[in-house]
Structure 1
Amino acid sequence: MRTATARAHPNIALVKYWGKADEELILPVAGSMSMTLDAFATTTTVTLDPEADEDSFVLNGSPATGTALARTTRFLDHVRELAGSRERAHVDSMNEAPTAAGLASSASGFAALALAASRAFGLALDERALSRLARRGSGSACRSVVDRYAVWHAGTDDETSYAEQIDAPDLRLVIVTVDGAQKAVSSREGMRRTAATSPFYDAWITSTARTLEEMVRACAAGDPTRIGEITESHALRMHAVIASSEPPVRYLAPASVAVFDTAAALRAQGVFAHTTADAGPNVCVLTTPADAERVAEAVSAHGSVRIVGPGPGAHLVDETVDAGETDGVAR
């Protein structure tokens, strides 16, 4: 029997991904940049079962059904195709972050699944190939494959759309969880609605491409102030274009906006604090190691807080292979 366990962490985009150029391949309309976190990990075990007629998926101790199971099976079908296998698999996954609440649980989930499944099915993928594979489950998962800071190259096809590591200053994020409940509108649905109905969508695409170029330059220059300015500006642009869809989608809650206001007040006092939020109510404040505790204390009135830093990419925790089996080849 083949089994593999992998662990991956969510990432928070400092230049946001919002919109697909290709729904099937999950190619983005523009590139993005993120920090892989050192917290809120997903640990996933994939075990092949030659006697099973269908895949099974247990999430946080409960059998998954419906969309969650269908997405997992569809992803495993792609892995089976790459491996030339027809075996079914049992997937057991544990999330340490609230699922579907805007803390990128799908990114850590599919990054961990990509590594565990590829190894269980006998594939040995390099980082670029693993990033491409993870992308097929959830776009942002391609960035969670990568250590610390990653740029996702939008690309034009499956081969050219992947994430790779870049250097950036050592920063911290203060995660403010204002609401751990599942959001009413999924990121996938929100992206589709924005693309189909927002009058500002084309400008979002072109401006994001320029913003990513600016961010890469700021990272290369080791300029945390400019990184922070770009981070907050781009987050607000994303939420503005989402709100311009019809019917409108509003992910930010009043407590979310209060965190943005608190960060602005801290900046006025000379504290490094720039705010961002993915598609959900929970907010992250980008700061320095020196200012992290002060920022955390200031925003704690708006929700539970946790200070996180740059973390590792997806990595194998355990792998068991029947005697006589090989570890596969790079593809």
Structure 2
Amino acid sequence: MEKSTWVATPNIAVVKYWGKKDNYLNIPNNGSISVTMDETLSTRTTVEFSPMHKKDELVLNGQFARDTELARAVKVLDAIRKAAGIKERAHVESENNFPTAAGIASSASGFAALACAGADSAGLQASEKELSIFARLGSGSACRSVLGGFAEWKVGSKKNGSDSYAVRVAPAEHWLELRNVIAITDSKRKKTGSAEGMELTTATSGLYSERVRTRPEIIRLMKGAILRKDLPDFLELTMRESSHMHAVMLDSFPPIMYLNDVSREIMWSIHEFNKSKGKICAGYTFDAGPNAHVYTVEKYANEVERMLRGISGVQKTIVCRSGNGPRKLSDMYALF
């Protein structure tokens, strides 16, 4: 067993999962589709299994992790230990180059990096399917970040989650012109975590069952738009899907409100932008947080970024392309 360091990147869902069949195994109620970002946004993680470590430890952005964060990491490490037939504890250090827990999918990149580095350190020659399942145990959306490009998370039907993992819809190079222009409106940790929010929605929203029932058709339409590189269809589906998820959040009781006034201003500005162009050429999506992810293509990316920067309350913009997924780094990039 050797120390291993990997870098992974967030994915931003264009058909989103919200709610789980199994909270411990992170098995979703509905499937989802995402785009994995390039290394403009990334998490670097170093893992070492060793007899020297008396317990599992996780250092996140220079600070020892909270108990809840460590418990999620241990679920992944336990699954890797079981698969590898080892008992050694692990020391893990992880760093993000972007805000944590603010709706930019830091958990997705973090647990994808942990799954890849952990499996490698344990000496496993793990398949993408196995890595996706390992990552899912820490964070559901992380199962998609194990893959580059466009990924679909299959719900599966087995209670043990062995058929709930991500598969590739298309590689990153399929749609090289695609851009995600991110508008940071609030980089603070959100008040309601995703896991807590999902439980509240599934328990109290009257709209939720209809969302679950209709997602398979939305996934079918979204996959078609991606494979055809049909920008207007892709963007309209993306915006409608984002609003649908936030509608069921708002229908929860008490209501869950991740969007802020700046988020809503961005939404209206995108519609005005598209109106000025006479077609849909930019489309927003919001995860469980107020920061906007505006998909467009290279031709319009600079205009979209300028428009977003002109909105009061937008603190920062970041432009990403689709990325190729996790990769191993040399020991010179290890965090310890």
Whether the TM-score (by the shorter chain) exceeds 0.5 is: yes
Check the 8 A contact 1:20/1:191 in 2, yes or no.
Answer: yes
Q: 1:231 aligns to what?
A: 238
Q: 2:102 aligns to what?
A: 101
Q: 1:325 aligns to what?
A: none
Q: 1:162 aligns to what?
A: 165
Q: Distance in 2 between matches of 1:67 and 1:268?
A: 45
Deviation track 1:128-168 (CA, whole Å, cap 9, x = no partner) reads: 22112111111100110111111111111322211122235
Q: Distance in 2 between matches of 1:72 and 1:216?
A: 31
The Cα shift of 1:15 comes to 0.7
Per the alignment, do residues 96 and 106 of structure 1 end up closer, same or farther by CA in structure 2, a change over 3 Å counting?
Answer: same
Q: 1:91 aligns to what?
A: 92
The RMSD of aligned alpha carbons is 1.4
The Cα shift of 1:36 comes to 0.5
Deviation track 1:195-252 (CA, whole Å, cap 9, x = no partner) reads: 0110111001012121111111112222111000000000000000011111111000
State the secondary structure of the residue aligned to 1:175: strand
Check the 8 A contact 1:12/1:34 in 2, yes or no.
Answer: yes
- TM-score using structure 2 length: 0.92
Q: 2:47 aligns to what?
A: 46
Quick one: which amino acid aligns to residue 164 of structure 2?
S
Q: 2:319 aligns to what?
A: 307
Per the alignment, do residues 136 and 31 of structure 1 end up closer, same or farther by CA in structure 2, a change over 3 Å counting?
Answer: same
Q: 2:17 aligns to what?
A: 17
Check the 8 A contact 2:75/2:137 in 1, yes or no.
Answer: no
What number of residue pairs does the alignment pair up? Answer: 320
My pick for the range that moved more, 131-140 or 72-81, is 72-81
Q: Which structure 2 residues correspond to residues 7-156 of structure 1 after superposition, within 5 A?
A: 7-38=7-38, 39-156=40-157
Check the 8 A contact 1:152/1:164 in 2, yes or no.
Answer: yes
Which of the residues 293, 303, 306 maps onto 1:297?
306
The Cα shift of 1:37 comes to 0.6
Q: Distance in 1 between matches of 2:179 and 2:218?
A: 21
Q: Distance in 1 between matches of 2:213 and 2:305?
A: 34
- Runs of 4+ more than 4 Å apart: none
Check the 8 A contact 1:27/1:156 in 2, yes or no.
Answer: no
Quick one: which amino acid aligns to residue 280 of structure 1?
G
Quick one: which amino acid aligns to residue 82 of structure 1?
A
My pick for the range that moved more, 276-285 or 217-226, is 217-226
State the secondary structure of the residue aligned to 1:25: coil
My pick for the range that moved more, 232-241 or 310-319, is 310-319
Quick one: which amino acid aligns to residue 193 of structure 2?
S
- Asked whether 1:176 is paired with 2:183, we answer yes
Q: Distance in 2 between matches of 1:79 and 1:139?
A: 17
Q: Distance in 2 between matches of 1:123 and 1:319?
A: 18
State the secondary structure of the residue aligned to 2:46: strand
State the secondary structure of the residue aligned to 1:196: helix
Q: 1:323 aligns to what?
A: none
Return 5+ residue gaps in structure 1 as ranges.
Answer: 321-331
- TM-score using structure 1 length: 0.94
Q: Which structure 2 residues correspond to residues 247-326 of structure 1 after superposition, within 5 A?
A: 247-270=254-277, 272-300=281-309, 301=311, 302-303=313-314, 304-318=316-330
The Cα shift of 1:290 comes to 0.4
Check the 8 A contact 1:7/1:315 in 2, yes or no.
Answer: yes
Q: Distance in 1 between matches of 2:330 and 2:167?
A: 24
Once the two structures are aligned, what percentage of the paired residues are identical? 41
Check the 8 A contact 2:9/2:41 in 1, yes or no.
Answer: yes
Quick one: which amino acid aligns to residue 24 of structure 1?
Y
Deviation track 1:30-64 (CA, whole Å, cap 9, x = no partner) reads: 11111101121000000122022211111111122
